[in-house]
Every structure is written in C-alpha cells, then in structure tokens.
A = this chain, B = another copy of it.
Amino acid sequence: MGNVTRVTIWNEYRHEKVHDRVREVYPDGLHAAIAAGLTDGFEVRIATLDEPEHGLTEEVLNGTDVLIWWGHMAHGEVSDEIVNRVYQRVLHGMGLVVLHSGHFSKIFKKLMGTSCDLKWREAREKERLWVVAPGHPIAEGIGEFIELAEEEMYGEHFDIPQPDELVFVSWFEGGEVFRSGCCYTRGQGKIFYFRPGHETHPTYYNEQIRRVIANAAKWAAPSTRPYPKYGHVPVPLETIKPKD
C-alpha cells in the first residue's frame, strides 16, 4: 500500500439534489465534507450512484485501498453486478468503511450475512459515542467520548454478527444505546461500520468524527500479500501412508 492510502468515497448523492435541508448542510455533497477530513496521507477519489457503473469501474476499484460508503434512499438502485465487484475486491483485501445508513446497503448486508436491521428515530437528539476499546488504532486521538448535539437515533438490537472488535458504543438522549463502531474481517479485507452521519446534521464537519474516519481508513488499508490459493491440492506436503 505504501505510505499513501488511496481512498474512494462512494456517495449515493441523491438527498443533496432533492432535499433543501440536506443541500443547505452539505452544499457540495456529503462526500465533499467526508473528503475534507482525509488530509494527511490520503489520495481521495469520489464516486457516485448516477455515474456509469456507479463510478466503481474495475479500474477504479483496483486502484482503491479503502472504499468509504454512504448510501440511504437508493440502496435498491445499486446494481448487483457492482455489488459483487465490490464484494470480490473486499475479499481480496480492499478495506471498506460503511457509514450510517449504509448499514442497509446491499454490500454491507452481503458481507455481514444478517438483516442489519435496527431501530431509528429522527428527533434531533443528543448522541454521545463512548470509546470502549481505548487502545484501538481507530480511537487514536479521540477523547473519552464524542458528543454530537443533534443526530438521528439508531437503537439496539442492531442485527449484525458480533463484531471482531467493538470500538464505540453510543448513548442517546431518548433512552437507547447502539454499537456504533464495529470491526470485521472478510477474506483479506477489513471492514469498519461507523454509525454517525445523518444527512440533515453537520456531523461530517465534526473534527473528532473526521478523525475516526481517517483512522479507520488507515486501519482498513490492505496488507501486501498474495491472495490465498484455494481448491484442489492433489500433492500432499507430507507422505501419506497407504491404507490397507
């Protein structure tokens, strides 16, 4: 991977076109605010749903170390072919950082093997993300918690496999909790789900949130290693004794 991590930010980029409130908060798109946080040691590219192949051509993906995914109202419009392409790249080592409503994206559900369902409420309530894995590289530079004055609520039960590592747990003003920062490995690829970022709140301008996403992108960058060999290996490494 070298010293520079090549990140592609995939944004559905629909809310910003049709909802005034979202355009007001993110005039250049959610992706622009996310990209602005990736300043040090990243090479950033943008891809969006309405581009040909959703902007995720073979060439783009092969040149991507870590894919960041934000989607919501148009999960169903993402073609299965592109989902499979991203899936294969993850198994071959590409990192994937799934943000907020991306919990219901085809690619996240396919990689998790569960419904990825949850509770939700839009009530401009306070969220406090507590660090529960203080030595984890994704929590580097983060205080005891991150406080967001207003966010959409996501509540348990969150139908995901038990995370390999749980980094954040959210407290919500309305009475719920949520596993907000979850690490997984699938094949050679590392996956981080990070909860915050509803499209009507300025969450992606928050410096601590940006730091988490940058940390996650570094953490998820692939190791340099050939893809494992699978299939038939007729010749054993050791002599097998003839049986009767």
Shortest Cβ distance from A143 into B: residue: B226
Q: A139 touching B171 by the CB < 8 A rule?
A: no
Query: A155 → chain B, closest Cβ, in Å?
Result: 7
Shortest Cβ distance from A128 into B: residue: B175
In terms of DSSP, what is the predominant structure of the interface of chain A? loop
Q: A130 touching B177 by the CB < 8 A rule?
A: yes
Chain B CB within 8 A of A61 CB: no
Q: Which residues of A in the span 103-120 have a Cβ within 8 Å of any Cβ on B?
A: 110-115, 117-120
Chain B CB within 8 A of A189 CB: yes
Q: B141 touching A225 by the CB < 8 A rule?
A: yes
Using a Cβ–Cβ cut-off of 8 Å, how many residues does chain A contribute to the interface with B?
Answer: 81
Quick one: which of B169, B171, B187, B237 contacts A134, CB cutoff 8 A?
B187
Query: A218 → chain B, closest Cβ, in Å?
Result: 11
Quick one: which of B118, B137, B173, B226 contacts A241, CB cutoff 8 A?
B173
Chain B CB within 8 A of A135 CB: yes
Given contacts A93-B135, A134-B228, 20 further A-B contacts (CB under 8 A): A115-B230, A119-B231, A120-B231, A124-B243, A125-B236, A131-B156, A133-B185, A134-B157, A134-B225, A135-B222, A135-B223, A157-B228, A159-B230, A166-B166, A169-B169, A171-B171, A171-B177, A173-B241, A176-B237, A177-B177
